[in-house]
A and B are shown apart, each in its own frame.
Chain A
Amino acid sequence: MVQVSDKVKVEVEKKDAFLGIDIGSVSCKFVLMDTNGKVLTSVFLRNEGSPIDSAKVGMAELRNNIEDNPELKAYAIRCCGTTGSARYLTKAVVGGDLAKTEIIAHAVATQSMYPDVRTILEIGGQDSKIIILRDGIIVDFAMNSVCAAGTGSFLDHQARRLGIPIEEFGSYAVKSKNRASIAGRCTVFAESDMIHKQNAGYSKEDIIAGLCDSLVRNYLNNLSKGKDLDEPVVFQGGVSYNKGIVQAFERHLGCKVLVPKYNVLMGALGMAILVRDYYQEHEQETTFRGLKVADIEFETKAFNCGDCPNNCEIITCSLVEKDEVIARWGSRCGKWSEIL
Chain B
Amino acid sequence: MLISFPNMGPNWVAFKTLFTALDLDVVLPDPTNREAVKIGVKYSPEFVCFPFKATIGDFKNALDKGADVLVMAIDCGPCRFGFYASVQERILRDMGYKDFVMIPLDQADLLEFHWVKTLQQVTGRSDPFIYSKFVKAVIFFVKKAKLLNDIQTAEGLYRAYERNQGDTTRVVKKLLLKLDETNTLKGLRNFKKVIKEDFTKIDVDKTRNPLKVAVSGEIHISLEPYVNLDIRRKLGEMQVEIHQNLSLWDWVVHKFHLNYHRKWLEHLAKPYVPMDIGGECIWVLGEYIDRARAGFDGMAHIYPFTCMPEVTARTIITNKLKKVYDLPVIFFSFDEAMAFEGFRTRLEAFVDLMYSRREHKLAHKRDYLKQDLDDIYHEYGSNFYKECFQMIQNQ
Contacts and interface: CB of A to CB of B under 8 A. Distances in A.
A146 B336 CA distance: 11
A138 B356 contact: yes
B288 to A, nearest CB: 14
A310 B353 CA distance: 33
Given A225-B318, A309-B31, A334-B166, A102 B230 contact: no
B170 interface: yes
Contact of A226 (B322, B337, B352): B322
Contact of A311 (B34, B333, B345, B353): B34
Contact of B360 (A137, A226, A310, A333): A137
A139 B348 contact: no
Contact of A137 (B31, B33, B166, B356): B356
A11 to B, nearest CB: 33
A69 interface: no
Given A85-B341, A86-B341, A101-B348, A138 B353 contact: yes
B166 A311 contact: no
B357 to A, nearest CB: 7
A226 B324 CA distance: 12
Given A143-B346, A145-B333, A226 B318 contact: yes
Contacts of A86: 341
A310 B31 contact: yes
A104 B356 CA distance: 11
Contact of B345 (A101, A308, A337): A101
B35 A141 contact: no
B176 to A, nearest CB: 13
Interface string A134-149: 0101111101011000
For the residues of B in contact with A, the DSSP-based class is helix
A256 interface: no
A175 interface: no
Contacts of A334: 166, 169-170
B328 interface: yes
A332 interface: yes
B30 interface: yes
Contacts of B357: 137, 139
A103 interface: yes
A311 B33 contact: yes
Nearest to A145: B333
B129 to A, nearest CB: 39
Interface residues of A, number: 29
A334 B225 CA distance: 14
Interface string B304-347: 01000000000100110011000010011101010001100110
A140 B33 contact: no
Given A139-B357, A225-B319, A226-B322, A104 B349 contact: yes
A310 B349 contact: no
Interface in B151-195: 166, 169-170, 173
B369 to A, nearest CB: 23
Contacts of A135: 360
B169 A143 contact: no
Contacts of A313: 34
Contacts of A104: 349, 352
Interface string A69-88: 00000000000000001100
A139 B346 CA distance: 14
Interface string A297-340: 00000000000111101000000000000000000111001000
A139 B356 CA distance: 9
Contacts of A225: 315, 318-319
8 contacts: A85-B342, A101-B345, A101-B348, A103-B345, A145-B332, A146-B335, A225-B318, A334-B166
Interface of A: 85-86, 100-104, 127, 135, 137-141, 143, 145-146, 225-227, 308-311, 313, 332-334, 337
Interface of B: 30-31, 33-35, 166, 169-170, 173, 225-226, 230, 305, 315, 318-319, 322-323, 328, 331-333, 335, 337, 341-342, 345-346, 348-349, 352-353, 356-357, 360, 362
Given A309-B31, A313-B34, 6 more contacts: A101-B345, A127-B342, A137-B356, A143-B345, A146-B305, A310-B31
